């Protein structure tokens, strides 16, 4: 029960952050918050009062609420994780309701998984709808910078760079095509001026769509 209630708090803070993105200095009225969340105004008022008691929002009756510094950090974190989840779902060609699924996934993402997803997805700046992905906290950013390897899609591999294939989110026909070109998990692939150089095979051409479904691990330069 406590876990579910914590998720409700997360949803409120995340939604408050969405209002902040649109109008940073404007207080959010409980009625507007209730409408955005699909709950009753009474439920919204009760939760806002609870969050105010925890120091997450600054609430003035009849005027609305603003995120405090603590609430801002938490709301931004939840929105970041939601949008990272949407990018991940797009990467694996998820065919369901990405928004609804991301809403569930965001609550399962902890700091460790956020770091892993950020590296896996190549630290995206925008979600699939073109909205900004909020910046990570300073702690998460430090952990990302400290990582010596990074997983990115083959599409993002720079010319002259080499990566080792770690995962393929391909259908059966695409997988067969990859196998015919000698591309298997563990294969080293180098981006060339005209295509991709395959370890132990000739150069190959991959469409942008196919390249985006292939994840390669690259080494990151150290200071």
State the chain's mean pLDDT as an integer. Answer: 89
Q: What CA–CA distances, in Å, run from 170 to 9, 75, 99, 123, 188?
A: 37, 34, 22, 22, 18
Q: For 189-215, what is each residue's pLDDT tens digit?
A: 999 988 899 987 778 888 888 888 888
Predicted TM-score (pTM) of the model is 0.73
- Give me the architecture of the 2-67 domain, per CATH: Orthogonal Bundle (1.10)
CATH 2.170.8.10 fits 152-219, yes or no: no
Q: What CA–CA distances, in Å, run from 104 to 11, 21, 57, 83?
A: 10, 22, 24, 12
Region(s) of the chain under CATH 1.10.10.10: 2-67, 78-147
What pLDDT is stored for residue 1 in this prediction? Answer: 39
CATH 3.40.50.620 fits 78-147, yes or no: no
Q: For 126-139, what is each residue's pLDDT tens digit?
A: 999 999 999 999 99
Q: For 4-41, what is each residue's pLDDT tens digit?
A: 668 899 999 999 999 999 999 899 999 999 999 999 99
Region(s) of the chain under CATH 2.30.30.90: 152-219
Q: What CA–CA distances, in Å, run from 146 to 112, 139, 140, 215?
A: 13, 11, 10, 20
Residues of the chain with pLDDT > 70, as a percent, come to 95
């Amino acid at each position: 029960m406590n876990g579910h209630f914590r998720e409700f708090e997360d949803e409120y803070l995340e939604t408050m952050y969405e209002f902040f993105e649109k109008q940073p200095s404007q207080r959010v009225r409980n009625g507007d918050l209730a409408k955005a969340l699909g709950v009753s105004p009474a439920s919204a008022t009760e939760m806002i009062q609870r969050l105010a008691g925890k120091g997450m929002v600054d609430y003035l009756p009849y005027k609305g609420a603003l995120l405090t510094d603590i609430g801002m950090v938490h709301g931004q974190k939840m929105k970041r994780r939601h949008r990272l989840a949407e990018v991940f779902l797009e990467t694996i060609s998820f065919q369901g309701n990405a928004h609804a699924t991301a809403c569930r996934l965001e609550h399962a993402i902890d700091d460790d998984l956020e770091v892993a997803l950020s590296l896996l997805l190549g630290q995206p700046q925008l979600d699939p709808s073109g909205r900004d992905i909020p910046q990570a906290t300073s702690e998460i950013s430090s952990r990302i910078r400290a990582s010596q390897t990074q997983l990115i899609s083959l599409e993002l591999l720079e010319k002259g760079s080499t990566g080792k294939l770690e995962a393929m989110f391909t259908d059966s026909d695409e997988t067969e095509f990859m196998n015919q070109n000698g591309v298997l998990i563990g294969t080293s692939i180098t981006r060339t001026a005209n295509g991709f150089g395959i370890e132990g095979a000739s150069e190959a051409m991959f469409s942008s769509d196919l390249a985006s479904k292939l994840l390669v691990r690259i080494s990151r330069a150290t200071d």
